[in-house]
Structure 1
């Protein structure tokens, strides 16, 4: 077995008491103090995440835009320098290769942020699809460290470390600047549903930047935050996670991500299949639920209808620290969403209350 990969902040995590686990082939902190405390810190104050395991790729060249329009489902022609777009890229059969962020730096110059567990697969896929287009796809993942400071106090904290006017960077926008003397791409997208800032910097500067954020974080109630809280926060926000709500067998239409699929921009990989699915209706559907009970409903738990027949399976499940009850998502037969649904947890039947996410009230500036 190969050893897990490490981010530039690996020693930083250990020095600060991070409990390390193997996550998608990466040695990452699942928590520092407790997932519960870290989750609540992000919802009420702010938390610092190391997301340096995420992948980055440059897409550059005269036909970079034409290539991206072919590659992804959303409309990249709407981008302008300083704008970020959330989208997915699909296989010809409609399943999702990955979800990603597209940053437009300038004409023919884009930065893509992709999921950590998919880097090798995504880069190979994109480079193969780029053949025939006058542009290049270059893996830049090893060049970047990426920190995310999330929560209602996050922007105020980072503002003490930079001359860049963070209030001037709108949601899903970015700017180049310096934070604590470190050159950064300063982005505001957020995977927790809270307000916040993501900082992309040179891998060699990652620890220096993290230590500066920690040093400034005391008055703002900053907590170091691991992947455990990151997952519970994203599920409370109702955001998809690759391998759960979206996979190579779950299309964006099935996942409820039809809003990132723009058919009017022209054909793209998988567009014919996705258009047919939208017109006909999906056979299955991703739904979000809560239970009124604290017992966590684990992924792969069967979902049952009133007659006790299996009509789907849970794909994500956790305890919401804010609601103090179990929440989750499931892939179920579309027709079954009109019925009463339940799960069996060690002999106890728990009814599922379907909800439209987010599960909690989220405020962003």
Structure 2
């Protein structure tokens, strides 16, 4: 439920219900968790293409003199190094290095668009507004922006004829402003699945036209609508983090294996001193991926042991449809984070043997 106490609906809600989707309250939105089944939808994305409604995500537009410097101070990655037409993934940290959110920054010719997690929209806006200098504008466009993702090895085939040909030639994390099915849109080659794909941002009033056009164009290519259930298993197979599970304001980018997004040489940013100290001293825990034998699935919050001693805790777990085995992620003491390390997941009275493995778990995706 949203802060106002009202569950919001995306502009695609009627389509979800007409398709018989199971709907749930997620981050204050009435969202489809599944249509035909998590495994079927997951494998459809891995083999063909899926259409995701992710309009619950938040979008802020930032402009004005000093907008670049403001954003570069607010996030850990180097926005200044991005060209116009490029997106940047970055954590946004507190002074103590804890992660406020992980987000995308789109660098446009005359402004920036920041895309944040749905559960953090209000928090992130307040955080950025408190940091914002005079002369920089910060506008929350979340409630008027629709967002669809087309993901899978046939994503480009689905969109061919609906988007400019130049959009199909975009590199990963590149975007352009054009049209999808005649509706003005930001077309971005990004995603959360490990497959090739596009994310499409456009005004709510174009929602019906775009949804119907993509579903019709995608039918010959095996496109199906996909819910949040499969979105979660797809992201976990890639070792992608979910805010609130794998990262939050008590974890730092260095602990989460996101050191590559922390650009110490770019100049000052919020959290820099704390992260520099942690980098020098070493992290107290590391986020690792692990696999289990058998069929039992690790769950968020389960204790991780080694030789009978607690050494960490599970943050995410699922049964991987692509690998046909249980997988998970969790934080462990650095001594137990090496590849091949043997661990036990505490599941009630049982101990489930696990082994640390490299991420991503799934390495055969169409994204290159």
Q: TM-score range by the shorter chain?
A: over 0.9
Give matches, 1:271-290, under 5 Å.
271-290=272-291
Secondary structure class of the residue paired with 1:276: helix
Secondary structure class of the residue paired with 1:77: helix
The equivalent of 1:44 in structure 2 is 47
The equivalent of 2:329 in structure 1 is 329
Maintained 8 Å contact 1:80/1:106: no
Maintained 8 Å contact 1:67/1:133: no
Maintained 8 Å contact 1:158/1:213: yes
Give matches, 1:352-363, under 5 Å.
352-361=354-363, 362-363=365-366
Give matches, 1:262-341, under 5 Å.
262-306=263-307, 308-338=308-338, 340-341=342-343
The equivalent of 2:174 in structure 1 is 173
Provide Cα deviations, 1:40-81, integer angstroms capped at 9, x if missing partner. Answer: 000010000001000000110110011011100000111121
Q: Distance in 2 between matches of 1:364 and 1:13?
A: 27
Long gaps (5+) in structure 1: none
Provide Cα deviations, 1:101-134, integer angstroms capped at 9, x if missing partner. Answer: 0001115x1011000010000001000011x353
Provide Cα deviations, 1:3-47, integer angstroms capped at 9, x if missing partner. Answer: 321111111110111100111221100000000000000001000
The equivalent of 2:232 in structure 1 is 231
Q: Distance in 1 between matches of 2:54 and 2:202?
A: 12
- With normalisation by structure 2, the TM-score equals 0.96
The equivalent of 1:73 in structure 2 is 76
Bigger mean CA offset, 346-355 vs 276-285: 346-355
Q: Distance in 1 between matches of 2:208 and 2:329?
A: 36
The equivalent of 2:200 in structure 1 is 199
Maintained 8 Å contact 2:167/2:175: no
The equivalent of 1:258 in structure 2 is 259
The equivalent of 2:351 in structure 1 is 349
The equivalent of 1:208 in structure 2 is 209
Report the alpha carbon displacement of residue 334 of structure 1 after superposing the two structures with TM: 1.8
Supply the RMSD in Å over aligned alpha carbons.
Answer: 1.3
Maintained 8 Å contact 2:106/2:113: yes
Maintained 8 Å contact 2:49/2:222: yes
Secondary structure class of the residue paired with 2:337: helix
Aligned CA distance change for structure 1 residues 224 and 13 (closer, same or farther; 3 Å): same
Q: Distance in 2 between matches of 1:296 and 1:25?
A: 27
| 2:32 paired with 1:9 | no
Maintained 8 Å contact 1:45/1:220: yes
Secondary structure class of the residue paired with 1:264: helix
Alignment partner of 1:91 out of 90, 94, 102 = 94
Q: Distance in 1 between matches of 2:36 and 2:81?
A: 42
Q: Distance in 1 between matches of 2:184 and 2:157?
A: 19
Long gaps (5+) in structure 2: none
Maintained 8 Å contact 2:24/2:33: yes
Maintained 8 Å contact 1:159/1:166: no
Number of residue-to-residue matches in the alignment:
362
Secondary structure class of the residue paired with 2:90: strand
Report the alpha carbon displacement of residue 204 of structure 1 after superposing the two structures with TM: 1.4
The equivalent of 1:28 in structure 2 is 31
Report the alpha carbon displacement of residue 346 of structure 1 after superposing the two structures with TM: 4.2
Q: Distance in 1 between matches of 2:91 and 2:284?
A: 20
